[in-house]
Amino acid sequence: MVVQLRKENRMNNVPTGKWVVDSSHSSVSFTVKHLMISKVRGSFGSFTGHAVTDGKDIFNTSLEGVIDVTSIDTKDENRDANLRSADFFDVEKFPEMKLVSQKINHVKGDKYEVEALLTIKDVTAPVSINVEFGGINTDPYGNVKGAAEAEFVIDRTKFGLTWNAASAAPFTLP
């Protein structure tokens, strides 16, 4: 099935159904400041997610994602072990992060804002997610695929991720 999409708001033509995240074509990554002078990039290798659409109104769509926090990878095993420990994510008690949409707002063209609740450890807080809808197409095997990119920023301290290290500089590391 090929889906025709209107240019002014292509999300209006998303077929009804449950759309499951294809982890072989998706990623969950992050960037954080290191020593307040550089950036460290990392990813979570294990995650699931889905969207449920009604085919009529994109604003009735529900989104949910779950990240396996134990799958964190910053390309430094010592740092990853510290992030998994009780000092930070405490994966023994809280092995998953969860994101659940609350509302979708159209910004312009293919850009949307998703208001969601993010749970990290035992703290749930609202986040605003910038989403760009990439479109819908049919792969060579006849499977209908949809694509979007999402990005948001959080203050880790609001989720109980408050571990800090002393530095030679006259400040505490965030």
Residue 5: inside a domain: no
Residue 65: inside a domain: yes
Residue 122: inside a domain: yes
Confidence label for 161 from pLDDT (cuts 50, 70 and 90): confident
Domain containing 109 — which CATH number?
2.40.128.110
d(CA 52, CA 36): 40
Which pLDDT tens digit goes with each residue over 65-96?
A: 999 999 999 999 999 999 999 999 999 999 99
Residue 61: inside a domain: yes
- Please give the model's pTM, rounded to 2 decimal places: 0.85
Which pLDDT tens digit goes with each residue over 138-155?
A: 889 988 888 999 999 999
Which pLDDT tens digit goes with each residue over 27-47?
A: 999 998 877 788 999 999 999
Residue 169: inside a domain: no
Residue 52: inside a domain: yes
Domain that holds residue 32: 15-159
d(CA 172, CA 79): 18
Residue 46: inside a domain: yes
Residue 2: inside a domain: no
What is the phi-psi region of residue 160: left when phi exceeds 0, alpha when psi lies from -120 to 50, beta otherwise? left
Contacts of 154 (CB under 8 A, 6+ apart): 118, 125, 127
d(CA 42, CA 169): 25
pLDDT at 165: 54
The residue assigned the tokens 């990623």 is 27
Confidence label for 156 from pLDDT (cuts 50, 70 and 90): confident
Q: How many structural domains does the chain have?
A: 1
